[in-house]
Amino acid sequence: MSLTVLEPGLASRIVDAGRPRTRSLGVSVGGAADRRSLALGNALVGNPSDAAALEIPLKGPRLRAEADVGCVIFGAPFDVHTDSDRIEVGRTFTLRAGEHLHIGVTSVGVHAYLCVRGGFDAPAVLASRSALDTVRRNDTLPCAASTIRTRFCPEVMPKFPDAWCVAATPGLQASWFDEAEFFDQPFTVTPASNRMGLRLKGDALTMPDREMISEAVCPGSVQVTRDGQCIVLGVDGQTIGGYPKIAQVVQTDLDALGQLRPGQGIRFTKITLDEAIERNRRAHAELRAWTMRLRLSLEAFRS
């Protein structure tokens, strides 16, 4: 049983929670750009948070169901419809055998996730089902036949502000810079941005007259290039880098980076390490509570 790709859309790919234990091999984390949306979408169809789903950026694919499949699309508010009905993002539905699913574009945000009951049965590489390649026309996306009752939880739907503000701690080379130049100004996301990182445009930071040896970096590291502009590394970012790091976006705010599109504004709020740990703890506890609640409520009322 499967979904067949009739039109691939723009760089859609199978993702899960990524490869967190391979950075010592020089392999990027990968996985979903917005892990919160992946986890909540999976919970709505009764899956574990890290089940494999189809990540859809900006413009989605057209798919055909080869059997009944219980689904949800969660994340950015894409224009979605089947051959006969309009589909609301965040609301579960059953795609019937032979039906086409058309996923159009989104006017805000970047990513949404097509989650199916049981997840997509993609091959595992380095303990992850996240694909290195995007889907192509006539690809088969294996998944189990299933159905699901309609359910919707407005309390967990993501929000998409015109300008984003994310929390960050000082980076390893923060003392090389005047931090006020960074934290006190707005930046704009440029078109030269992708899953590897967001290139930002703002007032150039004053560069120090010194060099550094390449060292470890990770998603959320804010590097400053030689022209004084900033790059925020994404989930497909490299594992080492030679640019100084003025800041580190806290873990719970990384999902926002996956929803920022070219032309949008972003500011950084400076917090301490202790504040970052507490912020992450609260966010993870809230997400765990919601995913458990959504999964248990589905199991209590099996379709």
Position 300 scores a pLDDT of: 61
Q: Where in the chain is the domain with CATH 2.40.100.10?
A: 163-271
pTM of the model: 0.96
Give the integer Cα–Cα distance in Å for 70 and 97: 11
Position 275 scores a pLDDT of: 98
Give the integer Cα–Cα distance in Å for 153 and 151: 7
Backbone angles phi, psi at 294, to 5 degrees: -65, -40
Position 51 scores a pLDDT of: 98
- Give residue for tokens 């709020």: 269
Within the chain, where are the H helices? 35-44, 179-183, 254-257, 273-300
Position 63 scores a pLDDT of: 98
Fold of 163-271: Cyclophilin (2.40.100)
Per-residue confidence of the chain (303 residues) as pLDDT tens digits?
699 999 999 999 999 999 988 888 899 999 999 999 999 999 999 999 999 999 999 999 999 999 999 999 999 999 999 998 999 999 999 999 999 999 999 999 999 999 999 999 999 999 999 998 999 999 999 999 999 999 999 999 999 998 899 999 999 999 999 999 999 999 999 999 999 999 999 999 999 999 899 999 999 999 999 999 999 999 999 999 999 999 999 999 999 999 999 999 999 999 999 999 999 999 999 999 999 999 988 876 554
Position 146 scores a pLDDT of: 96
Give the integer Cα–Cα distance in Å for 277 and 283: 10
Position 200 scores a pLDDT of: 98
- Decide if 132 contacts 232 (C-beta within 8 A): no
- Decide if 156 contacts 181 (C-beta within 8 A): no
Nearest to 96 by CA among 125, 76, 69, 62: 69
- Decide if 94 contacts 117 (C-beta within 8 A): no
Strands 163-170 and 245-249: antiparallel
Dmax over CA atoms of the chain, in Å, equals: 65
